[in-house]
Structure 1
Amino acid sequence: MKWENALKDYQLYLKIERGLSKNSIDNYSLDVKKLIGYLEEHAINKSPISIKTDTIQQFIYETAKIVNTRSQSRLISGLRSFFSYLVFEDYITTNPLDLIESPKIGRKLPDTLSINEIDDLINAIDLSQQYNNINIGQRNKAILETLYGCGLRVSELTNLKISDLFFEEGFIKVTGKGDKQRFVPIVSDTQKYINIYRNEVRTHINIKPEFKDTLFLNHRGKQLTRAMIFTIIKQLAEKIGLKKNISPHTFRHSFATHLLENNADLRSIQLMLGHESITTTEIYVHLDKSHLAKIVEKYHPRK
């Protein structure tokens, strides 16, 4: 079996069987490609079904010299997944990664913004800002209000459709990782700013036919890129002198943290964020240990 064929089959498996997004598939594929590149560079003639643990161990050892612990752990996890697929398809009987341990890494807690910092960032938007006669200030306000108000991933925001808005019911339909859909509540304030953008800004954009249903657009009438959302937020952070290293995902983390601080339950937060596992959502408990103390104080019979 050739590496190229094995990788193509694996990518198809990730897409069809596991329903992963293109970004996730690309990341998993990159781990395998790094191993392939190492084998080629060192003239090691091993196929996917003949490679042994010691060869992979040496590759990981060499890689560890140039990447941090977290990247090393991610690489091992990606390779373990690939070889687990080969076991699943009966190409090999054992996974050569079974005896390779991932390095221990501390759990990285996400950065968050306070409510005041969120307000400062949004208030820093120049609502009169024009670009090619398009009011991008009003658009940017609607973007940040939606990111924070609904706890969206940046890709979920850029892919949001007008047909996904169900304002009368108080929800939006969000397409998340693996094309999984969920309904997320949207408060009246966020609805208001989206409507201002739609009625006063979007109507003046010369929209390309393929983006007629896309909510947030650039001045050329095309879907906004992820990079553009990052740029908007970075510029606002610089404008108010915010020292934290923030990104669109920071608004999502802040959304979840503020809900938890106001006594929302983890299961509800999990559903709104679209986390497949409650374990992912539990990271927010680590962010706000005071919340746990309040729960015990309020509900424990020995309080």
Structure 2
Amino acid sequence: MIRKLPSGKWQVDLRTDGRGSKRIRKSFNSKAEAKRFEAFVMGKRSEQQAWNPSKADNRTLKQLIKLWFNAKGVHLKDGERRKRCLEAIADYMGNPAARTVTPTLFLAYRAHKLQEGASKKTLNNHLGYLNAVYNQLHRLNEIDFDNPIRNVEMIRLDERELSWLTIEQIRHLLKTIEEFSQNPHVHLLTRICLATGARWGEAENLQLRHVQEGKLTFVNTKSGKSRSVPVSKELFEETRTHLRKHGAFSFSLSAFRRALAKSGIELPSGQSAHVLRHSFASHFVMNGGDVVSLQRILGHSSITMTMRYAHLAPDHLSKAIAYNPLCCD
């Protein structure tokens, strides 16, 4: 809108995107100048160019990481660890202005870390952390520029081998723990994990109040959701008695790893902590359990994770025998 002021000047008063958008007001000596200005502003708007663009955002990457941490990271279980990781990435890049980060800069960091021996999965996590900083702050209108590394692709990962213990190996492991381990908790914790599919840390966190009505309830889980799993009467009562006596489980993973090494059972690198969980899931499916129930028991947020065990189902195995190309010879 153009109107004449009491002073004799002509004022342009408009909002480029209607009510609630940025208001622009400017005065001119003549009506013709005011009309030209109005046409200029609306023309720039149609080209999606701001009439009065803000100054370039020169905040550093570390400054944005701090903003992200205060808004989101502080609420995450691993927020402090992610923050340290992000700051290390920023340091490697020379802590540039966040808007000037390029895919090439991140790819150079990733190549360097690969040469140092970092795993591909870890570096995919790093990319995810940095994406989260830009995306979260953009949603909060803390930054007005797009995520500059949004087109960087994750490294393709080979499906990880999932190791599980046979019945004979389970018996041998439990016997080894019983004979050689001095830790009062590790034998029971091992059986709890085998009976419920719990992660070792979830089992260690059990308190007496979590052992109720024939079920063990796992809290502070990886997904953030509590879940309850029924167990046999014998295991239920033994767990209650153990916690009444000791008050709580102590950190016992090192004792389990020592017993596993003593047993002579060989596993792929990095799987000792999860082999009991994988063993529960594998035997559950091989004994006829359905994948949907397994998802709920394990607490997987996505069925995709649980489907890793589907190939162990009895019908899947029998079809391999019935339908292979040699079956009719």
If the length of structure 1 is used for normalisation, what is the TM-score? 0.74
1:151/1:251 contact within 8 Å kept: yes
Structure 2, unmatched stretches of 5+, are 1-58, 323-329
Q: Using the TM superposition, name which of 62-71 and 149-158 deviates more.
A: 62-71
Q: Which residue of 2 aligns with 1:234?
A: 257
One-letter amino acid of the structure 2 residue matched with residue 10 of structure 1:
W
Q: Which residue of 85, 90, 94 corresponds with 1:36? A: 90
Q: Which residue of 2 aligns with 1:163?
A: 209
Distance 1:61 1:124, change over 3 A: closer
For 2:266 and 2:235, how far apart are their aligned partners in 1? 26
2:214/2:231 contact within 8 Å kept: yes
Distance 1:7 1:194, change over 3 A: same
- Per the TM alignment, residue 34 of structure 1 is displaced from its structure 2 partner at its CA by 2.6
Q: Which residue of 310, 313, 316 corresponds with 1:292? A: 316
Structure 1, unmatched stretches of 5+, are 131-135, 203-211, 217-223, 299-303
Distance 1:242 1:57, change over 3 A: closer
Residues 158-184 of structure 1: per-residue CA shift (max 9 Å, x gap): 221110111xx2212211125321112
1:39/1:46 contact within 8 Å kept: yes
For 2:234 and 2:173, how far apart are their aligned partners in 1? 16
For 1:48 and 1:72, how far apart are their aligned partners in 2? 20
One-letter amino acid of the structure 2 residue matched with residue 9 of structure 1:
L
Q: Kindly tell me the number of residue pairs found equivalent between the two proteins.
A: 259
Q: Which residue of 1 aligns with 2:305?
A: 280
Moved over 6 A (4+): 295-298
Identity %: 20
Distance 1:281 1:94, change over 3 A: same
Distance 1:180 1:88, change over 3 A: same
Q: Which residue of 1 aligns with 2:112?
A: 62
The SS at the match of 2:274 is helix
The SS at the match of 2:189 is helix
For 1:273 and 1:174, how far apart are their aligned partners in 2? 10
For 2:104 and 2:243, how far apart are their aligned partners in 1? 59
1:285/1:291 contact within 8 Å kept: no
1:69/1:103 contact within 8 Å kept: yes
Q: Which residue of 32, 52, 74 corresponds with 2:125? A: 74
Q: Which residue of 112, 115, 136 corresponds with 1:85? A: 136
Instruction: Please tell me whether residue 244 in structure 1 is matched to residue 267 in structure 2.
Output: yes
Correspondence list, 1:1-303, <5 A = 1-14=59-72, 20=76, 22-23=77-78, 25-40=79-94, 46-66=96-116, 67-90=118-141, 91-126=143-178, 136-137=183-184, 139-166=185-212, 169-175=213-219, 176-198=221-243, 201-202=245-246, 215-216=248-249, 224-225=250-251, 228-229=252-253, 231-245=254-268, 246-286=271-311, 288=312, 291-294=315-318
Asked which structure has the greater RCO (Cα within 8 Å, sep 6+), the reply is 1
For 1:232 and 1:241, how far apart are their aligned partners in 2? 15
For 1:164 and 1:149, how far apart are their aligned partners in 2? 16
For 2:303 and 2:195, how far apart are their aligned partners in 1? 21
1:260/1:291 contact within 8 Å kept: no
Distance 1:96 1:64, change over 3 A: farther
Q: Which residue of 2 aligns with 1:133?
A: none
One-letter amino acid of the structure 2 residue matched with residue 62 of structure 1:
H
